[in-house]
């Protein structure tokens, strides 16, 4: 039988449930600028795989397609664009992985902290029994991070972190830039295949002495027949044709897979931001207890005020405002 989610909330309303005497005071805050990092084996492995796949795409795009090309303008423009998008994707990945997603101080469910909230009659607070923290409204406990996260959307192993209030912007940028470099790589592979197949067939016909208007027997001497056929492939790749085909097919498979995956994730994240409802809240169908705002206000709350180019930069930190003590009170 399904148990309503509000049943657990009712249990937390009981005063004896808090049991502040059982909570150890939270440790002193570390030095300013301490890096946030989750020590999870699966998440670390997924993050390494993510970087490896991006660097593999870099290798194929640069050394298989662009550098061997004789069209320098094409190579320079696409090289700069692809490397810029890849750099922004990896920078966004680092910010999403190494930014505190909005963790609630661990073990703050102490008598002193509860008294500091100056609760009025009828006001209640929620305590997480797993991390012994007073949970702000819309916070959920993550079993991987072992912390309660404000506005937690989900835990993503690909960034080895939760997606929450403080790092949702970087996760959205990460999915967007990965989708863009995947699309860019697929387009370049398509042009590369068309160009090289045309060059390859043209060179073969010329090697046999056949033009487009000729259909007679190849004009090749007996001495030339004994020599191996030389078809210039330096214009298409510095690798052998079989190796080039394998590398491009793998890149196509990777690009198509990640284009679909990250596009869907990007769309769901933007929808979640616009509706101001996290993924967990949608799954649990939690009752809406917060004020409804416009979609534009919700976007500015995640990406920063006002609208600027900083929205697309993983190096611009959005202003989250000061902590409000009333966030713990319901």
Catalytic residues, by residue number, are: 156
Query: What is the torsion angle, in degrees rounded to the nearest 10, for the CA atoms of residue 23, residue 28, residue 29 and residue 31?
Result: -160
Q: Is 227 helix (H, G, I), strand (E, B) or coil?
A: coil
d(CA 169, CA 174): 9
Cα–Cα distance between 103 and 117 in angstroms, integer?
19
304 Rama sector, left if φ>0, alpha if ψ -120 to 50, beta otherwise: left
Q: Which DSSP category does 61 fall into?
A: I
Q: How many CB atoms lie within 10 A of CB 243?
A: 12
Among 241, 172, 187, which residue's Cα sits nearest to residue 77? 187
Placement of tokens 């490397």 in the chain: 83
Alpha helix (H) residue ranges in the chain: 5-12, 15-18, 41-59, 72-98, 111-116, 168-207, 222-225, 241-275, 279-284, 295-303
| Nearest residue to 173 (alpha-carbon basis) of 262, 101, 103 | 262
Asked whether 92 and 173 are in contact (CB, 8 A), the reply is yes
> How many C-beta neighbours within 10 Å does residue 161 have?
29
């Amino acid at each position: 039988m399904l148990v309503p989610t509000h049943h657990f909330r009712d249990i937390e309303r009981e005063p004896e449930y808090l049991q502040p005497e059982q909570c150890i005071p939270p440790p002193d805050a570390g030095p300013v600028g301490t890096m946030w990092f989750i020590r999870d084996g699966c998440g670390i492995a997924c993050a390494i795989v993510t970087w490896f796949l991006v660097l593999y795409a870099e290798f194929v795009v640069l050394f298989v397609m662009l550098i061997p090309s004789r069209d320098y303008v094409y190579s320079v423009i696409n090289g700069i664009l692809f490397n810029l998008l890849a750099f922004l994707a990896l920078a966004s990945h680092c910010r999403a992985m190494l930014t505190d997603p909005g963790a609630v101080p661990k073990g703050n469910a102490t008598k002193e902290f509860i008294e500091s909230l100056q609760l009025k009659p009828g006001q209640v607070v929620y305590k997480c029994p797993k991390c012994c923290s007073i949970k702000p409204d819309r916070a959920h406990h993550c079993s991987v991070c072992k912390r309660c996260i404000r506005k937690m959307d989900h835990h993503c192993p690909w960034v080895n972190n939760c997606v929450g209030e403080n790092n949702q912007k970087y996760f959205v940028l990460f999915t967007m830039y990965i989708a863009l470099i995947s699309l860019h790589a697929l387009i370049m592979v398509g042009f590369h295949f068309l160009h090289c197949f045309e060059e390859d067939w043209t060179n073969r016909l010329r090697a046999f002495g056949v033009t487009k208007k000729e259909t007679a027997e190849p004009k090749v001497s007996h001495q030339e027949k004994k020599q191996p056929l030389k078809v210039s492939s330096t214009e298409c790749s510095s690798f052998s044709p079989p190796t080039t085909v394998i590398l491009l097919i793998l890149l196509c498979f990777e690009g198509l897979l990640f284009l679909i995956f990250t596009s869907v994730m990007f769309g769901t994240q933007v929808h979640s931001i616009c509706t101001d409802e996290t993924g967990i809240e949608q799954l649990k169908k939690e009752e809406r207890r917060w004020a409804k705002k416009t979609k534009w206000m919700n976007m500015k709350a995640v990406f920063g005020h006002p609208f600027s180019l900083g929205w697309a930069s993983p190096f611009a930190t959005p202003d989250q405002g000061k902590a409000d003590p009333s966030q713990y009170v319901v």
